[in-house]
């Protein structure tokens, strides 16, 4: 700015965009640190109730549509039966899980890619899957991907943004529900994150 930038509208815009991005990253980090600290110390209550997972997934995907559009990534909630998928869980916390998984898929996704959110009945459980066709993860990394601050290929991860806490928060919330979460992936072929929820109705 000191080198004539104040008189150049384009330079001003780029500077403000970088500044806004920095503020957003710091805010996200502080929010994630607060969330995981409370989860680890048991300060967050899980308030379970019956709700339609499909409706919640559509709301979360709509909220993140603009972020996905920047890379021309399509988010689709798959529900061939067009019927509600009733689960018994904390809808606020499940929305946070979906948001974290979708943002992760966007950050590491390919341009013109896709993210599919689906649900499958498994006895008394509903299996939720968030699938992308992004850069993928090695088998070695999948063993540690849910650790706090763990980054896949750290130099590349820094360029992708994120706090390094999103997947750790996912794991803690799922553990608090007494459910399970896992990932299957291979480099270049995308990833599928899966977690279970109790059925309701």
Predicted local distance difference test score (pLDDT) of residue 156: 47
200 — pLDDT class (breaks 50, 70, 90): confident
Predicted local distance difference test score (pLDDT) of residue 165: 82
Phi, psi (rounded to 5 degrees) for 177: -90, 0
CATH number at residue 103: 3.30.565.10
Per-residue pLDDT tens digits for 8-42: 666 666 655 555 555 555 665 555 556 666 666 77
Per-residue pLDDT tens digits for 146-156: 887 666 655 44
Q: Whole domain around residue 92: which residue ranges?
A: 47-199
* Three-class DSSP labels, 133-169: CCCCCCHHHHCCCCCCCCCCCHHHHHHHCCCCCHHHH
184 occurs within a structural domain: yes
37 occurs within a structural domain: no
23 occurs within a structural domain: no
Count how many domains the chain has: 1
194 occurs within a structural domain: yes
51 occurs within a structural domain: yes
pTM for the complete prediction?
A: 0.78
């Amino acid at each position: 700015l000191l080198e004539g930038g104040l008189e150049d509208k384009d330079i001003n815009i780029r500077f403000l965009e970088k500044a806004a991005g920095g503020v957003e990253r710091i805010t996200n980090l502080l929010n994630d640190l607060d969330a995981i600290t409370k989860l680890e110390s048991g300060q967050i209550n899980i308030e379970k109730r019956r709700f339609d997972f499909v409706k919640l997934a559509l709301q979360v995907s709509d909220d993140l549509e603009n972020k996905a559009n920047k890379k021309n990534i399509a988010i689709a909630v798959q529900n061939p039966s067009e019927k509600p998928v009733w689960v018994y869980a904390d809808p606020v916390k499940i929305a946070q899980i979906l948001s974290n998984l979708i943002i992760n898929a966007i950050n590491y996704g390919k341009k013109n890619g896709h993210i599919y959110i689906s649900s499958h009945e498994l006895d008394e459980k509903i299996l939720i899957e968030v699938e992308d066709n992004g850069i993928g993860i090695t088998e070695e990394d999948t063993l540690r991907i849910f650790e706090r601050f763990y980054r896949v290929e750290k130099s590349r991860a820094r360029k992708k943004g994120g706090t390094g806490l999103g997947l750790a928060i996912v794991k803690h919330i799922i553990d608090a529900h007494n459910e399970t979460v896992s990932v299957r992936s291979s480099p270049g072929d995308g990833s599928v994150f899966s977690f279970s929820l109790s059925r309701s109705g």
